[in-house]
Every structure is written in structure tokens, then in C-alpha cells.
Amino acid sequence: MSIKIFTVLVLVNTLSLINYDIAFSGNYWIKHPSPVIRNFKNCFFINNNTGWISGDSGTIIKTTNEGLTWSILPTGVYNDIQSIFFINERLGWAVSNEVFPDTNSFLGTRILKTTDGGSSWINYMYPDSNKFMRSIYFLDSLTGFMVGAPITIVRTGDAGFRWESMDTDSSLQLGLPLENIKFINDQVGYACGGFRDIAGAMWTTTNGGFNWKGLIIAPEPFMDIYIFNPAKAIAVGGDFEYGSSYVNTTNQGVHWNYDTLGTFGVATGIDFRTPSEGWIALAIAQKFTYTLDTGRTWTSIYTPDSVSVNDLQFTDSLHGWAVGYNGVVLKYNPTVSGISYEIENFSPVNITLNQNYPNPFNPKTIINYKIPPGVKGHTSNVKLVIYNSLGTEVTTLINENQKPGNYEVEFDAGIYQAEYIFINLLQA
């Protein structure tokens, strides 16, 4: 059986622990074949197997076998697909803006609908040619919403054939575009938007989307939202001048906390792999930003081959997708969890590396681990290795056979000039 390296990262003078593997997360996202070279904007998976990716020139591709093969779907449109949404494997919608810069022709929003998973689509124009929708979201097979520019939230109750404008808060008179909309249940939803160099705003509803309360809370727009529960949500965005940023609320949008992500680029997509581990796509910055503490702190890393990623989605803790420029499709790889060795009669869940204490520490900490009885006879070879943030081994604390039991090792990080110290425990 395979043995896993159990890891913990000790952060000197910081608050959080970060898994060692995440810091080298180029291995966690692997480039996946794509049938087209398009700039992908959105990905939407209804389960681990079936998903759709949309982008420029009316492109939508689909997989039903976890990305092993893709089909190019005949949408019948030639402008960028702004948003795509499915409620099951057959019923879905998309929106595209009819814009022809060469002729200065602006025709409005085209709505697409499929009832067979995308094999065929009907499409029709939204009746107001001055509205340009950016995002579409459905609560069920009949009830859905679209948001766009200028400030617009519309609702349908008949699967998208007729739309009615909702109250978007008369206190916001700037006409700010809305970029995205999401619901956590049939009553509570969030929307985000804004315009660069002017303002970023958030909207909330508590009555099923009929009325929305808006607040201007930042100098740059927000592009995507993740909702933890009805009261708690986070939105991400930014612009080229200020860089990427985020806001969060814990009281259903009554108050928002704003902060920057500390890196260049515009945050265009966010999703959480686990309740505490979240990822953000930073588009042209060619980076991901991730958190392991539910968004309190964020760390930026380059994407594989420095590709530009626009959107990402996790269907569960083991399955995720990210898409971007030039047909880039990345797939989350849950099998890369360190170095594996073949060890007979060994279960990798038996040995545990516990939380070091104190953490943060300056400069000393205690590392403790446990070898339970019955692991590979009476003794186990244990190797406790320290790495710096570049993945270079700086010292080995333990490399010996040890009997089952509880162990403690003191580590003094004061002699190492590194922001992050990684501790690996390997049993062989």
C-alpha cells in the first residue's frame, strides 16, 4: 500500500497553518486537453462527471466522463458567452451580448436555453436592447434571475421566456453594472458588481429576489461570490490599478469588511474545496490565491505554466476545474499529496503528525507525533524533515527506528531565514 507524507507548515510570527502540498500547488492543478483554443470564461459542473465550459465566439464544450472527452456544442451564436447555468444534466441556460464593434452595432442580450444538455439550443433576444446581461442563475426549472448593465436585476417565473425587473434599491443612483448573482436558498441571495475607478457594490435579498438592498463598499468592482450560509458570504474582484480585492460579511450584508489580496490582477472566480480551503482565479495575473482559514488570510501562487485562469469550480473536495485563456482547462488532482512509497502491511492513517505548539512561535516550538501499536511490527523508521519555502531540505530532526508511542521534538527556527518552515513526517 502507499504511504503518505503527513505534513504541517509552521508559520513564523503568523496565525495559520498551511498544508505543505498547497504551497507547491502547481501539482494540484494539471493541464487537461481541450478541443478548442478559445478564451474560456466560465465552467459549470452539475456533478463530478458532467460539466460545461463556455467562452468566446459562442463556444460551449461539454463532458460527461470527468473530462476524458469533450463535445463542442452547436450554440448558434458567435459572440462571447457571458454566463452559463444548469439545474440538472439536461436543463440549462446561457447569455450572450450581441455586440459588433466593427459596425458600432449593439443589439442587447441573447438568451440561450437547452432541454437536452446542450445538444440543441433555442435562443431569443431579451426585449430591452439597452440591457446587457452578465450573469444568469436559476433556483428551479421555472424561477431564475439575470443581472447586468446598467444596474439590472430581472426575474423570470416561466423558465426564461418572460422577465420582470426587480427593485434594486433606489439609494444607488450610479447605474453600476452587476456582474454576478447567486442564492443560498430560495429566499436569500447576493449580487455583486461595480465599475472600475468608480465603485464596487454588493446587493442582498431576503425575500426571494423581489427586493435588493445595495451598498457601495469599495473603489473597484466585484466579479464573483461564494455564500457559506445565509448570513456569511465573500465576494472577490479588483481592477488593474488597485489589484485584486475581496469583501466579506457575517451578518447578511448589513456590514462588509473590505481588504486587498495583496497581488496584481483582478479576482474573477472563487470557490471553496472544503469549508476552510478556498481558491481564487486571478485571470491575467496568471496566479491562484488560496486560503486555508476560511478567508482570513490568503496566499498567491503561479498557475501551472503561468496560464491565465478566469473561473474555477469544485464539485466536492476531490474534484475541481479551472478554465482560462487560449483553451486552458485545468483539473484538480487529488492524488498528488506528497511522496508515496510502497510499504507492506502499512496503513497511512495510523501515524499522525499533530499540531505544533505554540504556533505562532518565535523562535521555538514543540512538534509532537504518535506511532500507534501494531504498525509494521514493533518499530518504525521515522524521518522528521524541515524544508524552507522553496522546498529545499534544511535539516533532519529525526531519522531512526522508533517504537509505538507519543513523541515530542523541540525545533528552533531562529537560525533559518525563511518566512515559512515546512515539517514533514515520513514513516517507512
Rounded Cα gap, residues 144 and 84, in angstroms? 12
CA 269 to chain centre: 6
Phi/psi at 44 (5° precision): -145, 110
Measured CA distances, 81 to 108, 233, 324 (Å)? 13, 26, 13
List per-residue pLDDT tens for the chain, 428 residues long: 332 333 433 333 332 233 333 444 456 899 988 999 999 999 999 999 999 999 999 999 999 999 999 999 999 999 999 999 999 999 999 999 987 655 555 689 999 999 999 999 999 999 999 899 999 999 999 999 999 998 899 999 999 999 999 998 766 656 789 999 999 999 999 999 998 878 999 999 999 999 999 999 999 999 999 999 999 999 999 987 778 999 999 999 999 999 999 888 899 999 999 999 999 999 988 999 999 899 999 988 889 888 999 999 999 989 999 999 999 999 998 765 332 222 223 333 345 555 555 545 456 777 777 776 654 455 667 777 776 545 556 778 888 888 777 788 887 766 665 444 555 555 44
Measured CA distances, 147 to 200, 217, 230, 292, 409 (Å)? 15, 19, 20, 31, 56
Measured torsion, CA atoms of residues 6, 7, 8, 11, in degrees rounded to the nearest 10 = 170
Measured torsion, CA atoms of residues 322, 324, 329, 330, in degrees rounded to the nearest 10 = -40
pLDDT of residue 105: 57
- CA end-to-end distance (rounded Å), the chain: 12
Rounded Cα gap, residues 148 and 110, in angstroms? 12
pLDDT of residue 5: 34
Residues 6+ positions from 136 with CB-CB distance below 8 Å: 83, 84, 85, 93, 94, 95, 111, 144, 145, 146
Phi/psi at 74 (5° precision): -85, 95
| CA proximity to 223, closest of 176, 170, 275 | 176
Rounded Cα gap, residues 291 and 289, in angstroms? 7
Residues 6+ positions from 263 with CB-CB distance below 8 Å: 243, 244, 282, 285, 287, 289, 300
| Same-fold call for 2-9+339-427 versus 29-332 | no
**Residues 11 and 18 sit within 8 Å (Cβ to Cβ):** yes
Element holding 226 (H helix, E strand): strand 222-229
pTM over 0.85: no
Please work out, in degrees rounded to the nearest 5, the angle formed at the alpha carbon of residue 290 by the alpha carbons of 300 and 309: 75
Q: What number of other Cβ atoms are within 10 A of residue 366's Cβ? A: 15
**Residues 169 and 149 sit within 8 Å (Cβ to Cβ):** no
CATH of 2-9+339-427, one of 3.30.1360, 2.40.50, 2.60.40, 2.60.120: 2.60.40
Residues 6+ positions from 253 with CB-CB distance below 8 Å: 190, 202, 203, 204, 213, 215, 233
What would the grid cell of residue 196 be? 472600475
Domain definitions of the chain by residue range = 2-9+339-427, 29-332
Q: Hey, what CATH class is 29-332 in?
A: mainly beta
pLDDT of residue 290: 92
pLDDT of residue 182: 98
